[in-house]
Chains A and B, each alone.
Chain A
Amino acid sequence: AQKITQTQPGMFVQEKEAVTLDCTYDTSDPSYGLFWYKQPSSGEMIFLIYQGSYDQQNATEGRYSLNFQKARKSANLVISASQLGDSAMYFCAMREVLSSARQLTFGSGTQLTVLP
């Protein structure tokens, strides 16, 4: 079974609008972390935002916020006031803290295109 599911292979948004990128996850580990990364066409992986499973509040970092719904096992990324430079691939990832594996498991990504 997929641990991280990103159901939107591609998304379009108008510049200055907000956009939500979906991510659902599957784990039986009570302690885990959820991450979002941005990968522009140049290829590097840029860490955007982190949400811990025990965090009471949704994480925010500038124009990025994470809509964390634990019961639904979803961790959607919201980008407010989209800019042309936000056009990139976005990956959701999870780390299961108490399992023996400490690596990140990535979703398949969503290609976001911001339209002028």
Chain B
Amino acid sequence: EPEVTQTPSHQVTQMGQEVILRCVPISNHLYFYWYRQILGQKVEFLVSFYNNEISEKSEIFDDQFSVERPDGSNFTLKIRSTKLEDSAMYFCASSERGNRPQKQTGLFFGQGTRLTVV
């Protein structure tokens, strides 16, 4: 069964360093997302990406964050200068269709990257 793949599974970085989180969405999916979950809290939307551009972003997704689809398969989240409060589980997700209710099958999530900023 196709799945969303994220690497690495766990990353430890020093405060102020740049990190890149990588994702390979399901191959026929068109919409891509990043979410994060601070330990013990709810899952929060960061950004959605469609047709090679950002379609929506939350207030969390400030200038320190960027996303890219450098080739036909990878989808990356970059945090330029990490802060302690960026420590969280980061989930990549993809979906086949964005907004056709009769065809919705949910967002399929990767297994997450646990980012620890020290």
Q: A91-B42, A107-B42, A109-B42 are in contact. Are A50 and B111 (CB under 8 A)?
A: no
B112 with A44: CB separation less than 8 A: yes
A45 with B112: CB separation less than 8 A: yes
Chain B contact residues (Cβ within 8 angstroms of A): what range?
A: 20 to 34
B114 within 8 A of A: yes
B104 with A95: CB separation less than 8 A: yes
- A78-116 residues with Cβ-Cβ distance < 8 A to B are 91, 93, 95, 97-98, 100-109
Binary interface encoding of chain B residues 5-49 relative to chain A, with 1 for a CB under 8 A from any of its CBs, else 0: 000000000000000000000000001010100000111110010
Closest A-chain residue to B108, C-beta based?
A: A47
Task: Please count the residue pairs between chain A and chain B whose beta carbons lie under 8 angstroms apart in the complex.
Answer: 73
- A5-51 residues with Cβ-Cβ distance < 8 A to B are 31-33, 35, 37, 42-47, 50
Binary interface encoding of chain A residues 43-67 relative to chain B, with 1 for a CB under 8 A from any of its CBs, else 0: 1111100101110000000000000
B101 with A97: CB separation less than 8 A: yes
Specify which chain B residues have a CB less than 8 angstroms from the CB of A46 in the assembled complex.
Answer: 109
Specify which chain B residues have a CB less than 8 angstroms from the CB of A102 in the assembled complex.
Answer: 31, 48, 55-56, 98-99
The CA-CA distance from A42 to B111 in the complex, in Å, is 9
The CA-CA distance from A37 to B37 in the complex, in Å, is 14
Specify which chain B residues have a CB less than 8 angstroms from the CB of A44 in the assembled complex.
Answer: 109-112
Specify which chain B residues have a CB less than 8 angstroms from the CB of A45 in the assembled complex.
Answer: 43, 91, 93, 109, 112
